[in-house]
Chain A
Amino acid sequence: MLKKIALLLCLSTLISAAFSVRADTNLIATIQSTLHTYQTIHGEFEQTKKLAGMQKALKARGYFIVDQQRGVLWQTIKPFQTTTLIKQGEIIQKSNGQTLVSLQASKEPAIQSITTILFATLAGDFSTLEKIFTIEGVVQSNKNWQVNLVPRDTAVKNIIQTIRLTGNAVIHSAQLQLNNGDTTNIVFKNVEDISSVREKYIGEFN
């Protein structure tokens, strides 16, 4: 009678667990020595999303801020103004000051996992990523690196098939292949360290 708990159809069931399995430690170490970790970065993005069953891709662009303390601010400018805030255990989507979506880990535990993955991906936190994904990839002589992330957990696999990341000292691109057939390509541009002027930008998180 208690199998009703099996009814977890929650769309986003990701993992927060720490796995002891280690990936190619050399690769990770090399990338970590190349990739800089800053208190706060600012950059622009161009997003091309291909929805399953649709010919034409959706294009969007905007800017983003990744702050070690506050999380990720994802500001779409075109085709429409919308702000996505990814904090620890919380995702909020706003448009014109009006909250469209607000998801809390306290209500939906899976949100914790999503925010962890998104933050780790955008902040280039490989020590967290390698706990959740098996990571394979190459580092070229010019220190350009390219990695393929495959979820370890079947529950995460239900959402994400693979994540492909490229970068050097900063992240260059991310490609998300989702299980529902959608593909998202994100190209990052003009990524810069704004730690020294952090205070100027941080207000946007509120």
Chain B
Amino acid sequence: MNLTKRLALFYLFAFLSCAGWFCYQLPKVMANIDFDLLSLLPKEQRNIYAEQALNKLSAQGQNAVILLVQGRDSTTTLSTAQALINQLQSAGLSTAHLQTNLDEFKKLYFAHRFGLITSADLATLTQISASCTTVKHEPNTKYTQHKNPSVYKVQDDSAQRTTQYFDHAAGCAEDATHQWYQRSLANAFSITGQALTWSDDPFGLFSNWLMQLGQITKFRPQENFLTYTAPDGWHYVLLQMTTTQSALAVSDAKTIGTRVEEVIKTLTKNHDVKILRSGVLFHTAYAAQQAEHDITTISIISTIGIVLLIMLVFGSLRGILLIALSIIVGIIFATTVTYLIFDKIYGLTLVFSTSLIGVAVDYGLIYLSTYTSHTQQQSRHLYLPMTFAMLTNVLAYATLLLTPFPIFSQIALFAIVGIITAALVVFLWFPYLAKNHFHFSFSLPSTRHLDYLKKNKSLLFTLTLIFGVGGLVSVKTNDDIRALVNLNPQLLREQIDITKIVDLPSPAQFFLVVDKTAEAALRTTETLTQALDKLVEQNSINGYEAVTHYLPSMHTQQTALALSKQLLYTNQTLLSQLAKDIPISTKQFAIAIEQNHYLTAQTWLSNPATRPLRFLLFKATDGHWISVVMLKGLTQTHLQEVVSIAHPKNVYWVDRTQQISEQMRYNRQLFTYLLILAYGLAALLAFAKWRAQSWRIVAPPILGSLLALAIFSMLGKEINMLTMAAFIFILGLGADYGIFLNTSNKQRPINIGVTLAMLTTLLSFGLLSTTQIPAISGFAFILAVGITFTWIFALILSLTGKEPDHV
């Protein structure tokens, strides 16, 4: 057995084992197809903490659905919300019981209430405490004259100061705490209802804190719903639902998405209400629907087209089967390897892979069309140019591996494996399988119609150059990630409306506080939020979401407790004054305060009620504590103001949108340099082989690219990272045409082979450019147009050239 036979057998063995595994794993592979648009986003590379925070955020977002019922009449709005919950329960969406949740929170905070005081109350207490200092040093001066408004901030040493002057509290309290006496009395006698009985919160400090907590949102509980009535009279009911299944498969997302849509349709038909949706799963469902449609249509049409083309040219079923074999082997290998490396396959990879058919088919086509005229021995002469052509294709795809976008790395891997394994079928098996000659089933078309172009090629090139340079000048770039995906505009509008009405924070731009301990992280967060409070006052932002709203640092709690204990709860003057009107023992608060435990991060994090908030504070894998502070209503105008608050030591500003755009711009530029480098390399290689004729190989893809770019720009489209990659592909695929055309001395059959290869590529990418996914359609469009022109120029150049060298 000679070497080629052995290799062919070995390859057969490799394929059969792979195919066996593929068939066995197919159901699992199919179930793991990922249509999540978030997978389009590049990995966060710079900051491991940001990466973990983003993972937490997206994990939280994956299963969350927000529905907002909007109506003119509050009764209808509420009943619609109830009907929604009832009807969606069976669809796998559930909602937490609001009252149970609220009670849980109330219970949690009540146990720690003596340390929970608003910053405003704390400032007043600190001020009084500061006045005590004055009283101590200058006993003859009256407190009122020494009110020092600058002591409004809770400073780090305030706890110490409190302890230091604790003994003197009674001396200054009478004057300074008179307003607290009045406040307490007013609370006791108040006719308005209160959540807590007076003795649990005699000075209303905890009530104020709870009130401040509630003001994070304008939605208020009503009939077990969160409701809000806007100044314009619209009633809103907010439903926050989660999928009952934690890991949501695409098919489930589609089922839920469709069910929600149906239910909304029925509920809004008869009532004058609107229901808005927001949630990752809706986008996933939409993307899956689109991608599936694209995959089926494009792959079916391009397969039929290619089959028809081969039928037409070779008129032989055997030819079709041989070429189909190479493609099937390629796809099975590609799917298997991709799945083994990535653990899942992205829906977009499948969309893209449909075009791979057009590329992988080339080797078989070239082989078969050459076989019509060559003996087997002679077709082996094609191996070197075919290998060269394959390598240029693989290198083109390899550039996509350089991007930080996992989706494009996967597409590249899929394509590279698919191309190599499909080509190996041609190299290793075709000599045994295609023993009989193929015949063209029709008389070959004359190339005489190119004669006119041939004669006027200087004019043609000049025109192309003028047109191409015009395109280059007018080119526009866009590095926005949103230009790559096609979100359902309706869903997007609803989501924007919800964000506005509910005033949700942006998940893409936030501060990241990193510290060694939870307490340190909380204290740094408190310093940060003080700065943010100022921005809120200046209307630079609407507000923010920080863990310290829900969990003040131990230091703040200690300060709060120490100050209120000293000045209020154990202030005998104040208490005996109160005792005149209210039957209290002057010791009862001292006892209650002794029983108070500070709310620790551990307690807070382990309470079931805080689950939805835990992304705000967590422990990173390396043991650091991370606190995420998200902003509401941040606009571009105030961005710089906000960013300047960040501190290089432990307060980072994370801007995903900007970061992704930067990465996209970086990659676009990288691809531009790579393109230049690739042309340089191709020119060198071609020169080594074809010397003075090498320009015939390099020029066609350059001219084709220029024309494609010009047409693309004229259509008003913008260049991004992916369209730049397309130009590398034009070189990869287009250089092949020149190589093949200039390698064969009997030009006719190879003309046909190259033309067929071009047609299949055009068919695949032309069809792919009709996809609704903008990321792929732009790429495919450039490729289809560029390849067509490259083919024309390659033909013109090879025909006008001298008799080329033999391989």
- Residues on B with beta carbons closer than 8 Å to the beta carbon of A10: 210-211, 214-215, 220-221
Q: Is A109 an interface residue (CB 8 A)?
A: yes
Residues of B within 8 A of A7 (CB): 102, 105, 213-214, 216-217, 550, 613
Nearest CB of B to A38, in Å: 21
* Cα separation A102 to B151 with both chains bound (whole Å): 23
Closest chain A CB from B208 CB (angstroms): 10
Q: For residues 50 through 65 of chain A, which have their beta carbon under 8 Å from a beta carbon of chain B?
A: 51-56, 58, 60
A80 in complex: contacting residue of B226, B227, B229, B581, CB < 8 Å: B581
Whether the pair B612, A109 counts as a contact (CB closer than 8 A) is: no
Answer whether residue B255 sits at the interface, using C-beta atoms and an 8 A cutoff: no
Which residues of B are interface residues toward A (Cβ below 8 A)?
A: 57, 60-61, 64, 66, 74-75, 78, 96, 98-99, 101-102, 105-106, 109, 179, 182-183, 185-186, 188-200, 204, 207, 210-211, 213-224, 226-229, 235, 238, 240, 502, 504, 507, 545, 550, 580-584, 612-613, 615
Q: Which residues of B contact A4 (CB under 8 A)?
A: 216-217, 545, 612-613
Closest residue of B by beta carbon distance from A19: B75
Say yes or no: B196 contacts A155, CB within 8 Å. no
Interface string of A38-55 (1 = CB under 8 A from B): 000000000101011111
Assuming A10-B220, A153-B223, is B102 touching A58 (CB within 8 A)?
no
Smallest beta-carbon distance A44→chain B, Å: 14
Q: CB distance A182 to B198 under 8 Å?
A: yes
Check if B213 sits within 8 Å of A58, measured CB to CB: no
Listed A/B pairs (17) with beta-carbon separation below 8 Å: A1-B507, A2-B64, A2-B612, A6-B98, A7-B105, A7-B216, A11-B211, A17-B227, A51-B197, A52-B199, A82-B182, A98-B179, A100-B179, A108-B211, A109-B220, A110-B220, A180-B196
**A12 CB-CB contact with B under 8 Å:** yes
What is the total number of residues of chain A having a CB less than 8 Å from a CB of chain B? 62
On chain A, the residues within 8 Å of B105 by CB distance are 7, 9
Mostly helix, strand, loop or mixed at chain B's interface?
Answer: mixed
Q: Least Cβ distance of B78 to chain A in Å? A: 7
Asked whether, in the complex, the Cβ of A91 is within 8 Å of the Cβ of B192, the reply is: yes
Q: Binary interface profile of A, 1-36, with partner B (CB < 8 Å = 1, else 0)?
A: 111111111111101111110000000000000000
Indicate whether A165 reaches chain B with its CB closer than 8 angstroms.
no
Most buried by A among B102, B189, B210: B189
Do A155 and B220 touch across chains, with their CB atoms under 8 A apart? yes
A88 and B711 alpha carbons, distance in the complex (Å): 65
For B75, list chain A residues within 8 Å (CB). Answer: 17-20
Q: Which single residue of chain B is at the shortest CB-CB distance from A4?
A: B613
- Verify if A68 is at the interface (C-beta below 8 Å from B): no
Residues of A within 8 A of B61 (CB): 1
Taking a contact as CB atoms under 8 Å apart, the answer to whether A11 and B238 are in contact is no
Asked if B102 contacts A84 (CB within 8 A), the reply is no
Q: How far is the CB of B197 from chain A (nearest CB, A)?
A: 4
Verify B199–A158 contact, CB threshold 8 A.
no
Instruction: Tell me which residues from 169 to 199 in chain A have a Cβ below 8 Å from any Cβ of chain B.
Output: 176, 178-182, 184, 186
Partner of A8, one of B57, B102, B584: B102
| B284 to A: closest C-beta gap in Å | 16
* Cβ contact within 8 Å between A5 and B221: no
CB pair B583 A153 closer than 8 Å:
no
Q: Measured between alpha carbons, how far is A176 from B189 in the docked complex, in Å?
A: 13
CA distance A8 to B200 in the complex (A): 20
Chain A to chain B: the 8 pairs with minimum beta-carbon distance, closest first: A11-B195, A10-B214, A3-B612, A1-B60, A52-B197, A17-B74, A56-B583, A159-B193
Given the interface pairs A6-B101, A11-B210, the reply to whether A153 lies near B222 with Cβ below 8 Å is yes
A155 touches B179 (CB 8 A): no
Flag whether A114 is at the interface (Cβ < 8 A).
Answer: yes
CB atoms of A76 and B217 under 8 A apart: no
- Minimum CB–CB distance from B574 to chain A (whole Å) comes to 14
